[in-house]
Amino acid sequence: MTDSTTTTVAAAEAPREFLGHPRGLATLFFTEMWERFTYYGMRAILILFMTASAAAGGLGMSAETAGAIYGLYTAGVYLFSLPGGWIADRLLGQRNAVFWGGVLIAAGNLVLAIPAGASLTFFGLFVITLGVGLLKPNVSVLVGELYKGDTGARRDAAFSIFYFGINLGAFIAPLIVGTLGETVSWRVGFLAAGVAMIIGLVQYKVWGHWLGDAGVHPAPSSEAERGRSRRTLTIGLAVLAVLVVLAFSGLIPLDVVQIANVAGIAMLALAVYFFGYVLLFGGLKSDEKKRVLVIAIFFLCAALFWAGFEQAGSTFNLFARDYTDRSLFGSFFAEGQHPASWYQSVNPIFILLLSPVFAWLWMALGKRNLDPSAPAKFGLGLIQLGLGFAVMMVAAEVVITSERNVLPTWLVLTYLLHTTGELCLSPIGLSNVTKLAPARYVGQMMGTWFLGAAVGNLAAGLIGGHVGGGDVADMPAQFLRMALIGGGAGVLLLLIARPVRRWMGTASEGRS
């Protein structure tokens, strides 16, 4: 009877597909879309809210302090993805981790919606960080679980659909949350972000049965191993709780900028220690060591790229507010200017439009044996990052010489260059880290990719607070410096692309 029931259930659930994909993909598509809506909507107004005067409903912070907080928050999101994955693997399973991560994200945004002081705002950001750390890595794992054993085009197409959901949420969010935040109330904007995550959670539960048994249970382990994992988590949470109490009690005077600087140094030191340990004491063969060195190069390039790219939410957001003519559609708004946060939608719409173009381009070049190697693509990405800052340098010069705000086309062109740079670097990095890493270090090497993103995001906040909130007269020199650093690193990587490609060995692809 049990066998008959099992067969009947299996037969009933087998047809649950839509357009050739499991219906569970739709569940995860909308979960991630609403989560990214929440994240990018809140992020679009975060630094604007912190630097707005108290009379305007903000926190009245200096741009430098706000930039440091922004950097710590966005870096923390990536760092907490590492323990978030560990908790799912060892204790919760991916299914529960995604749900409870969403609960924390919604709760954190609702905390931000409470009209209170800076301490409660910091606590809300901390809660959101924990939530994103739980949800973000594990929802992607669930997509893979739906296609377990399927390594063909259908699996690749599924992740392309999922990626579309990410950018769809990122595109819509600033237009809604940003408009509410800047024209109604910052708190209403945060409330909208929180409600969006609640919508995502509701549909996740309602259509969760479409996921089957994907991610229901953590990885198999003995009772002793589970006990050690629970003890480790308990100790970690206790230490975290003590740090939070000390931070928010005022018992220890905190300099946020100094903390951000120390955090950046600590993360870089961790990366140096990890790569040094693996190379010297990891028991690797000669060819494996060369590939690890390539991953280290990619780590540095990624950190540098994200340090420039992620200034979208700091430097460029402040530039949009203070030095961009936003009179287009201004008649619909009391101040005659459309919201500055709208420009946070430019990158995701370019991603949606250009991702298929780049996928076709690499395939077309590959058929002619002209596809650039991974190091060359990284170099091209960094050069485009530098060109974007060169555009901003000219824009700042125009502001100074004309003594009026510039047209939005400067920001849009910068975002275009940075987006094409992202498409050259980000997906290529993810693909090659998994190819190059020694089998026993794959997970940890992927962790270094997250670490590189964390370092870059932290630097973006610190730089944005210094540049975006400074005197416009200093901006051309600052933007020129960033253009030279990004472009110079890209040119250097192009020059060494051939030897780096040889280090990659059989894992390399394309030409230099």
Same domain, 512 and 392: yes
The answer, yes or no, to whether residue 249 has pLDDT greater than 90, is: no
Q: Which residue has the tokens 């020694």?
A: 438
* Domain CATH for 282: 1.20.1250.20
Same domain, 190 and 314: no
8 A C-beta contact, residue 21 and residue 160: no
Rounded distance between C-alpha atoms, residue 210 and residue 17, angstroms: 9
* E strand or H helix at 22: strand 21-22
pLDDT band at 471 (very low <50, low <70, confident <90, very high): confident
Cα 220 from Cα 52, distance rounded (Å): 50
Contact 468, 258 (CB under 8 A): no
- Our CA angle for 364, 368, 374, nearest 5°, is 75
204 and 271 in one domain? no
**CA 276, CA 264: separation in Å to the nearest integer?**
18
Residue 511 phi/psi, 5° resolution? Answer: -105, 165
Q: Specify whether 303 is located in the same domain as 208.
A: no
Residue 249 domain flag: no
Interior angle at CA 147, CA 150 and CA 506, nearest 5: 50
Is position 499 within any domain?
yes
- In whole angstroms, give the CA distance from residue 310 to residue 344: 11
Rounded to an integer, the average pLDDT of 39-51 is 95
Tell me the per-residue pLDDT of 311-346, one tens digit each, with 9 for 90 and over.
999 999 999 999 999 998 878 887 889 999 999 999
**384 shares its domain with 496:** yes
Q: Name the pLDDT band for 508 (thresholds 50, 70, 90).
A: low
Q: Helix (H, G, I), strand (E, B), or coil: what is residue 511?
A: strand
Mean pLDDT of 236-249: 75
Q: Quote the pLDDT of residue 351.
A: 93
Asked whether residue 267 falls in the same domain as residue 216, the answer is no
pLDDT band at 15 (very low <50, low <70, confident <90, very high): very low
How many C-beta neighbours within 10 Å does residue 9 have? 10
Show which of 220, 247, 273 is a domain's final residue.
220
What is the biggest distance separating any 2 CA atoms in the chain, rounded to whole angstroms?
84
Strand ranges (E), 177-319: none
- Residue 62's φ and ψ, nearest 5 degrees, are -70, 155
312 found inside a domain: yes
Q: Residue 399 — pLDDT band, cuts 50, 70, 90?
A: very high
Same domain, yes or no: 305 and 164:
no
Residue 8 has pLDDT above 50, yes or no: no
Q: What is the CA radius of gyration of the chain?
A: 23
Say what the pLDDT of residue 450 is. Answer: 85
Same domain, 264 and 156: no
Convert the pLDDT of each residue in 422-466 to its tens digit.
999 988 887 788 788 887 787 778 788 889 999 999 999 999 888
Average pLDDT over residues 464-482: 89
Residue 227 lies in a domain: no
Q: Are residues 174 and 273 in the same domain?
A: no
At 154-175, the pLDDT tens digits run: 776 777 788 888 999 999 999 9
Most confident of 65-69, 365-369, 445-449: 65-69
pLDDT-derived band of residue 365, with 50, 70 and 90 as boundaries? Answer: confident
Work out the average pLDDT over 57-83: 91
Neighbours of 302 (CB within 10 A): 27
Q: Could you give the number of structural domains in the chain?
A: 2
Is 482 contained in some domain? yes
How far is the C-alpha of 101 from the C-alpha of 131, rounded, in Å? 4
Same domain flag for 207 and 298: no
The model's pLDDT over 177-215, given as tens digits with 9 standing for 90+, comes to 999 999 999 999 999 999 999 999 999 999 988 888 887
SS3 state at 20: coil
- Whole domain around residue 280: which residue ranges? 255-512
pTM over 0.85: yes
CA distance 391 to 409: 10
Same domain for 261 and 334, yes or no, is yes
**Backbone phi, psi, residue 254, to 5°:** -115, 130
For the CA atoms of 460, 461, 463, 468, what is the dihedral angle to 10 degrees? Answer: 110
Question: Is 242 a member of any domain?
Answer: no
- Of all residues in the chain, the percent with pLDDT exceeding 90 is 56
> d(Cα 199, Cα 189) in Å, to the nearest integer?
16
**β-bridge mates for residue 21, sequence order:** 18
| Nearest-5° Cα angle at 76, 481 to 488 | 20
Mean pLDDT of the chain: 87
pLDDT surpasses 70 at 16: no
pLDDT tier, 378 (very low <50, low <70, confident <90, very high otherwise): very high
Among the listed residues 496, 462, 375, the one whose alpha carbon sits nearest the alpha carbon of residue 62: 462
- Between the two ends of the chain, the Cα-to-Cα distance in Å is 63
Domain co-membership, 288 together with 395: yes
- 13 lies in some domain: no
In a domain, 357, yes or no: yes
